[in-house]
Homo-oligomer: A and B are copies of this chain.
Amino acid sequence: MTPATNPAYRRLSVEERRSQLLAAALSLFAHRAPEDVSLDDVAEAAGVSRPLVYRYFPGGKQQLYEAALRSAAEDLRHCFDEPRQGPLLPRLARALDRYLAFVDEHDTGFSALLQGGSVVETSRTTAIVDGVRRAAAEHIFRHLGVTDPGPRLRMTVRTWITAVEAASLIWLDEDKQPPAGELRDWLVEQFVAVLGVTAGRDPQTAAVVGAFAGDGPD
């Protein structure tokens, strides 16, 4: 590491400093509920003064929390980036691997956010989380090749996404058991099973299931 690239030895640009503060905040929110993290903690973790944190986030903790949440939501959306090539279920499995790695890394912060009841939770933070859910559903429809999902297919995909969230929270609660790989396979199988149920009532879903049933094992 040379002095020129080590943040401790040079002035950071505004953007770099902001990223550094957000990263420090995220690592704290990952292991403690937002209400148990103070601006002093963030300043200390980033090795800067409290006034500096306020200069970047004049709205204080609420603003910092929302910015950290937006940044985490952005990372979470990247988990869904998956080329639309090859068999469908392995694509889903790879996206779930990235998602579970994200959950693993953000841990308590992820729980606090999704379980609600946090004192820094507002309709704005809820909207950020809902935005990620909507993005996940849109990714799935795109991969399924569906441009205009009907109510039954929509409900199936959205409830499965909620089930994935619930399973990740339970997984964190149960000391990350079963292993992530087993949880991922189970979630993929759940996806196939719940679509299969809807396929019995909905021609659009039946067509989708028919399309990936031909994929075979990867």
A residues contacting B by CB (< 8 A) are: 115-117, 121-123, 125-127, 151-152, 154-155, 158-160, 162-163, 165-167, 170-171, 174, 177-178, 182, 186, 189-190, 193-194, 196-198, 200-201
A196 proximity list for chain B (CB < 8 A): 193
Closest residue to A192 on the B side, CB-wise?
Answer: B197
A196 to B174, CA, bound (A): 22
- Copies of this chain, complex-wide, total 2
Which residues on the B side are within 8 Å of A163 (C-beta)? 159-160, 162-163, 166, 194
A198 (CB) vs chain B CBs: closest residue: B186
- Contact, CB under 8 Å: A170 / B155: yes
Q: Which of B121, B159, B167, B197 contacts A155 (CB 8 A)?
A: B167
Q: In whole angstroms, what is the CA distance A22 to B154 when docked?
A: 36
Distance A194 CA – B182 CA, assembled complex (angstroms) = 15
Q: In the complex, are the beta carbons of B170 and A158 less than 8 A apart?
A: yes
Cα(A152)–Cα(B182), bound, Å: 11
The 3 A-B pairs at the shortest CB distance, nearest first, are namely: A117-B126, A116-B116, A162-B166
